[in-house]
Amino acid sequence: MTWTPLMKRVAWAKGLGFGFGLFAPLLLDPAGPGQLMLVWGIVLWSVILGALVGLAAQFDRVPLFDLRLPAGLRGAWIGFWMGLVLFLVAGQGIEALWAGSGWLPQPPPGAVWLLVEATLVGAFIDLLAGGLAGARFGAPQP
State yes or no: pLDDT of 81 exceeds 80: yes
Q: pLDDT by residue (tens digit) across 84-137?
A: 999 999 988 888 888 887 777 778 777 888 899 999 999 999 999 887 777 544
So what's the pLDDT on residue 31? 81
CB-based contacts of 24, cutoff 8 Å, min separation 6 = 39, 40, 42, 43, 46
The model's pTM is: 0.85
So what's the pLDDT on residue 138? 45
What three-state secondary structure class fits 61?
strand
